[in-house]
Structures are given as structure tokens and as C-alpha cells.
Chain A
Amino acid sequence: DVKVTQSSRYLVKRTGEKVFLECVQDMDHENMFWYRQDPGLGLRLIYFSYDVKMKEKGDIPEGYSVSREKKERFSLILESASTNQTSMYLCASGQGGSGANVLTFGAGSRLTVL
């Protein structure tokens, strides 16, 4: 089974802190994604990467950056956390190009910014 592991299940941070969310997948998938999930808004794509050192903005990239130095690891960075970034963050990985990308998700990281 593909496993997508997110480093922290729950985090509490203060406004202005730098936050790192780590995601590791163990099936050599090319594509990795970061989503955030908020009540009533569903899942929204923050950033994705289809290769090492490659990154593409999703629908809501403002306030976030990402890093993909190794194929198995995709990190989401909040340079200066704000209260409106309190959310559930979900990492996913997938293999394949257009039309064939089937996603597997991690368990999620629930971030609270005070």
C-alpha cells in the first residue's frame, strides 16, 4: 500500500512563527500536493509538484511556500503564520500525467494559529 505520512497530526503555533509541515511518500510517486480544508469550502489546492525541485502554484498559494528537494518529500512552509491559516492541511501523492493521476492522501495536519 502507498503510504503518505505527515509529520505532525496537531500543531499549535503563535502568529508570526515560521511553520514547517512535512510530507513523505514511500511509493516513488512523481506528483505531490498540498491542500487545505476548511468547513464549507472543501479542499483547496495550495501548491503541487510534479518533479524534484519543481513547484506550481495552486488556487490559494498566498502566504505559503513549498520545497521538494527529494522525490519522496514535499514540505509546506508558512513563513509568518497568521490566524487565517488555521486549518486542516492535507498532503497527497499520485503517479501519472493528465487524466491518470490517482491521489493517495496522508492523515492530515490540523494547525491552530493563536
Chain B
Amino acid sequence: GIQVEQSPPDLILQEGANSTLRCNFSDSVNNLQWFHQNPWGQLINLFYIPSGTKQNGRLSATTVATERYSLLYISSSQTTDSGVYFCAVERSPMNTGFQKLVFGTGTRLLVSP
């Protein structure tokens, strides 16, 4: 199956710093999503971004599908950004049928005041 690798596994930032999280995947994809899991376990969908660039406030994401990676940028980080960030991908189907989202193991971010 498709492999999804996220880096770095852990990241500690001072409040106000910027960061870049990376997601590499091993096959062509037609679906890529970024999620944030807060310290209470709730997963929030940040971006649906199979290709191109999107921005939402201090967060932005870029997916370069031809080179099989996606980047999540966090600018001016805040303590509420702490948690785990997951990338999830769906492999481009070889034939008809339902493909599954496969999750990476995440990047754990701690933003200190």
C-alpha cells in the first residue's frame, strides 16, 4: 500500500515562531488532507489539498503532486497550535472502487509561551 511519512516527528517552538511540516507519499494521490488533533483528541480538518496552494489565516499548505510531497506552514505560532498534525492521502485509483485515506504517523508540535 501507499506509504506516508511525516517530518519532523516532534517540534518545539517558541510562541511567534514559524514552522514547516512535511508529508512525503510513495504513490500518486488524488486526495490529500491535513488535520490537527488538539490535546483533547479532537481531529480538525485543516485543508483538503490534492494539489496547489491554499491559505487559511496563519496556516497555509502546498502540495506538489508530481514530486509526491505536501508542506504545511504555520506562521506566528500560538500555544493553541499545539497538538499533532496529520497528513492523510488517498491513492489514485487503478480502477473503479473506493479508495481509503491512509494517515501518516503525525508531527507532534509544542508551542511554548
Q: What residues make up the interface of A, taking CB atoms closer than 8 Å to B?
A: 35, 40-45, 48, 50, 56, 58-59, 88, 90, 92, 97-105, 107-108, 110
Let me know if B103 is at the binding interface, CB within 8 A. Answer: yes
Query: Of B12-20, B38-46, B55-63, B73-81, which binds chain A?
Result: B38-46
Contacts A92-B43, A103-B88, A104-B45 aside, 13 further interface pairs with beta carbons under 8 A come to A42-B105, A43-B86, A43-B88, A50-B98, A59-B100, A98-B93, A98-B98, A98-B99, A101-B90, A103-B33, A105-B43, A108-B42, A108-B43
User: Quick one: which of B44, B50, B103 contacts A43, CB cutoff 8 A?
Assistant: B103
Residues of A near B106 (CB, < 8 A) are 42
| Subset of 14 A-B contacts with CB under 8 Å | A35-B103, A42-B106, A48-B100, A56-B98, A97-B98, A98-B90, A98-B96, A99-B31, A99-B50, A99-B99, A100-B31, A102-B48, A103-B101, A105-B45
| Contact (Cβ within 8 A) A99 B41 | no
Closest to A105 in B: B43
Q: What residues make up the interface of B, taking CB atoms closer than 8 Å to A?
A: 30-31, 33, 35, 40-45, 48, 50, 86, 88, 90, 92-93, 96-101, 103-106
* Cα-based distance from A50 to B99 in the complex (angstroms): 11
B18 to chain A, nearest CB (A): 25
User: Quick one: which of B41, B97, B100, B105 contacts A58, CB cutoff 8 A?
Assistant: B100
| Contact (Cβ within 8 A) A110 B41 | yes
